[in-house]
Amino acid sequence: MSASALGKRVKTALDETRLLILGAQVLFGFHLNGAFQKEFPNLSTQSRVLHAISFLMMTVAVALLIAPSLQHRIVEQGQASTRIIAATSLFAAAALFPFALSLGTDLYIVIGHHFGATAGAAIGIAFSLAAITGWYGAEWVMRRPRPKEVPMREDPDTPIDVRVEHMLTEARVLLPGAQALLGFQLAVMLTDSFGELPNSSKVIHVAALCCISLAVILLMAPASFHRITFNGQNTESFHRLGSALVVAAAVPLGAGIVGDLYVAVTMALDSPPLGAVLALGAAATLAALWVIHPLVLRAKRAH
């Protein structure tokens, strides 16, 4: 496969990940915002527990959708490869399952609250099954055999223009989730429920807000550097700088997600220990998918 064709396939895979995360960001933000609504304390204990579990599932979905971009930066260092195409497909397929379950769970919570648990359960289960069928079943039925490719010892070098385009696309993969979460974080601080939080949760939320703000700044910086410093020229130095900014943004982004997961779950279940357990689980998942696994793959690749 030529470098041009391989680069186009990587770009298509990244664009599809962007499409998926645009849908995930709204549902992800709902979980934080929903915990601060006036009607939330009136939900049953079961619904509040399901809300916390659903929030965790969407955190996993977002983590899986972002993982290929960070792997591409850390492992391949921006080079297009057949491995990153396969990894992107695998992570995207894995992310859709918790997404489908979370969608059905959230429909059950909000519809069941107003129209009864039976109606909520029927609609929630129906839409989870519809999502799983539409995202997995139909695709497997219509799946075509992969065309045979000429074996190569290694993937061809990717031109700098293509690598810069991929890097900017990956910044756009991470940015929507950060922007949506930032908006919900700011809105939450103007609710009555926020004033009722213990001081520890308020401090953690403010810290998470600052982390997401930093992530947004870092993710928008490559475009500014490209226009102002490099006059739109695609160079190796710009590619290295942009890649470093994208990878660096993942750290405060993950910290902000974990912090607000703790705040929302603690508020929903009125249990700081449970909030801490779920937040630590989310932190371990993000660290494994975004940092540890890519670094292990990079070490194996170098060896």
pLDDT digits (tens, 9 = 90+) for 230-253: 998 999 999 999 999 999 999 999
Domain range list for the chain: 3-302
Helix 3-34 with 236-269: angle, nearest 10 deg: 30
Residue 152: predicted pLDDT? 46
Distance CA 204, CA 207 (A): 5
- Measure Cα distances from 8 to 12, 69, 170, 175 in Å: 6, 15, 14, 22
pLDDT score at 33:
86
Indicate whether 218 pLDDT > 80: yes
Condensed to tens digits (0 to 9), the pLDDT of residues 69-125 reads: 999 999 988 888 899 999 999 999 999 999 999 999 999 999 999 999 999 999 999
Mean pLDDT (the chain) is: 89
Residue 257 has pLDDT above 80, yes or no: yes
For residues 132 and 130, give the distance between their C-alpha atoms in angstroms, rounded to a whole number: 6
Q: Is 245 within 8 Å of 219 (Cβ atoms)? A: yes
| CA dist., res. 298 & res. 11, Å (int) | 21
The pTM score is: 0.89
**C-alpha neighbours within 13 Å on the C-beta side of residue 39:** 8
Instruction: Report the C-alpha gap between 109 and 120 in whole angstroms.
Output: 7
| Number of separate helices (H) and strands (E) present in the chain | 11, 0
* Whether 259 contacts 211, CB under 8 Å: yes
